[in-house]
Amino acid sequence: MSNSGHLAGKTALVTGSTSGIGLAIATALAGAGANVILNGFGDAGQIEAIRAKLASENGVEARYFGADMTKETDIAAMISAVEAEFGAIDVLVNNAGVQHVAPIDEFPVDKWNLILALNLSAAFHAIRLALPAMKKKGWGRIISTASAHALVASPYKVAYVAAKHGIAGLTKTVALEVAQAGITVNAICPGYVWTPLVEKQIPDTMKARGMTEEQVKKDVLLAAQPTKEFVTTEEIAGLALFLTTDAARNITGALQVIDGGWTAA
């Protein structure tokens, strides 16, 4: 079967897409007809099952590359391989990310370097390498997963907040550079989303603040979210999918907030 969605015949690369937000976005893009390129870490058998399911259920091609997004050479090799097979990356979703929670004077330097490399520099490299083929086609969608932390700060997350503010600046700058090239560049800024990334930072936050798990969820994670609900990965995927449509062609350089009202305060 072939897929006749609005992305039929197009190819999407979603970094950090073996779970969480990235997998939800890859699933939505495949549902609209895009060939999808998965990337990320995880169990090889599980990843292959995800890849095969995406392909068979949506009538699209699906590939997996285990490129380490902190390594420029890995990113370049992945993009070259995708372009060799599919011609261009039409939709680039920069989603790979990692978090560490600690006061700045105790913040491990290796964690700072890792977070900046994965959450910010990886997007820079992917964009600069994917853009020439997009420009040649005269069409492209670049979407980065930022965060409400691209707009506001929280304590103990110095590297993450700095990187996400960096994504905001990167997004705006590239959007201006390609404004007349048929390419839009946007960032999605979720509030707290229930993903493995959030789940993993709860013990560190419990320790840093001397709280129980329930207290961390209610008084830290959802304290700033007026809806008192976690944003879902499907909601973020729906927004990403909309940004790939013709209806969204004049949305560029935007930080699209989906945070339950967090940044309204």
Beta bridge partners of 140: 183
Report how far apart, in Å, the C-alpha atoms of 77 and of each of 5, 92, 240 are.
Answer: 29, 15, 25
What is the tens place of the pLDDT at every residue in 193-223?
987 777 888 999 899 999 999 899 888 888 8
The pTM for the full model equals 0.93
Residue whose C-alpha is closest to residue 166's, from 107, 223, 115, 230 = 115
**For residue 199, what are the contacts with CB-CB under 8 A and spacing of at least 6?**
none
CATH of 11-193+232-264, one of 3.20.20.70, 3.30.420.10, 3.10.20.600, 3.40.50.720: 3.40.50.720
Q: Which of 64, 156, 160, 192 is catalytic?
A: 160
Catalytic residue list contains 156: no
Q: Are 75 and 125 in contact (CB under 8 A)?
A: yes
Q: What is the pLDDT along the chain (265 residues), one digit of tens a residue?
A: 668 899 999 999 999 999 999 999 999 999 999 999 999 999 999 999 999 999 999 999 999 999 999 999 999 999 999 999 999 999 999 999 999 999 999 999 999 999 999 999 999 999 999 999 999 999 999 999 999 999 999 999 999 999 999 999 999 999 999 999 999 999 999 998 987 777 888 999 899 999 999 899 888 888 889 998 899 999 999 999 999 999 999 999 999 999 999 999 8
Domain residue extents for the chain? 11-193+232-264
